[in-house]
């Protein structure tokens, strides 16, 4: 694929490729930060009797990010590095195998988010409890806006002034929230599920585009339709960013922005590849 370069003195700089690899590097940093966050939260939500699905659910974000990183690499290979050469059968099978594993991982993420919502909506009230100080002996954590704090004699009076609480993780009963926290938890749960579904739909549009261009099809009504669909889908992602900023989850918003930038780079690869196909047909 042709590169767009700028000559600076005796040196050449491919601006788009430089920006693209900066974006990819930022995504790698974000991935490491999410592993850390999942590990911290798992310390509150997992216990010695946790099942395998509960374990993978606790690290759903890490699994999700891993799958997307591999898919991004595959798209970079298909739309830029290997777009001008036919793939051997071995390479094709390897890439398709990785793709299937990634899809399974992303399906698990949707499942984990859906189960999380089911648990949230199945929250169990703490009968007869009007203060967190009444449950300091139960080894529970208080959650509010995804911040988890072990309830203790020192902090029980300041964590929440509410007089009604619920367990949001039945039947384990390790995580406690008040009504305000439960409302936020539901909103965040829906945002996670909708955002993950939106990304999968974006992925589908890119897969269709790559499939068509692999067969030297680069024009037609289907491309216009895919473009319109992607505009709507990306607008939904910007809506998620706005909500996370509102809830002060700046890392989530930043990560989403960088992922949008990463897939914008892939979209630019696709456009350039399409232009090359059109030029070859002239």
**Predicted local distance difference test score (pLDDT) of residue 281:** 58
Q: What is the pLDDT of residues 237-252, one digit of tens each?
A: 999 999 999 999 998 9
CA distance 142 to 91: 49
Residue positions counted in the chain: 282
Q: What is the pLDDT of residues 163-202, one digit of tens each?
A: 999 999 887 788 999 999 999 999 999 999 999 999 999 9
Question: In Å, how far from its chain's centre is CA 35?
Answer: 12
The pTM of the full predicted model, rounded to 2 decimals, is 0.79
The chain-wide mean pLDDT, for the chain, equals 84
8 pLDDT band (50/70/90 cuts)? Answer: very low
Q: What is the pLDDT of residues 193-205, one digit of tens each?
A: 999 999 999 989 9
If you compute the radius of gyration of the chain from its CA atoms, what whole number of angstroms results? 23
Residue with the two structure tokens 């993978």: 56
């Amino acid at each position: 694929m042709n590169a767009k370069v700028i000559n600076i003195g005796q040196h050449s700089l491919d601006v788009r490729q430089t920006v693209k690899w900066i974006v990819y590097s930022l995504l790698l940093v974000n991935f490491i930060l999410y592993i850390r966050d999942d590990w911290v939260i798992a310390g509150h939500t997992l216990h010695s009797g946790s099942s395998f699905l509960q374990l993978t659910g606790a690290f759903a974000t890490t699994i999700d990010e891993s799958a997307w990183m591999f898919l991004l690499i595959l798209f970079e290979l298909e739309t830029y590095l290997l777009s001008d050469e036919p793939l051997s059968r071995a390479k094709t099978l390897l890439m398709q195998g990785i793709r299937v594993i990634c899809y399974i991982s992303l399906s698990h993420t949707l499942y984990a988010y859906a189960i999380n919502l089911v648990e949230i909506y199945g929250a169990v009230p703490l009968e007869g409890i009007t203060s967190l100080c009444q449950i300091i002996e139960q080894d529970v954590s208080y959650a509010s806006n995804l911040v988890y704090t072990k309830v203790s004699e020192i902090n029980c009076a300041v964590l929440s002034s509410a007089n009604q609480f619920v367990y949001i993780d039945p039947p384990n009963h390790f995580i406690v929230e008040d009504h305000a926290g439960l409302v936020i938890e539901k909103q965040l749960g829906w945002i996670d599920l909708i955002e993950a579904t939106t990304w999968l739909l974006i992925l589908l549009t890119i897969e269709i585009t790559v499939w068509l261009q692999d067969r030297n099809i680069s024009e037609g009504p289907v491309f216009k339709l895919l473009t319109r669909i992607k505009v709507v889908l990306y607008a939904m992602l910007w809506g998620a960013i706005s909500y996370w900023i509102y809830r002060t989850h700046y890392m989530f918003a930043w990560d989403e922005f960088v992922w949008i930038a990463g897939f914008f780079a892939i979209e630019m690869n696709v456009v350039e590849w399409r232009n090359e196909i059109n030029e070859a047909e002239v």
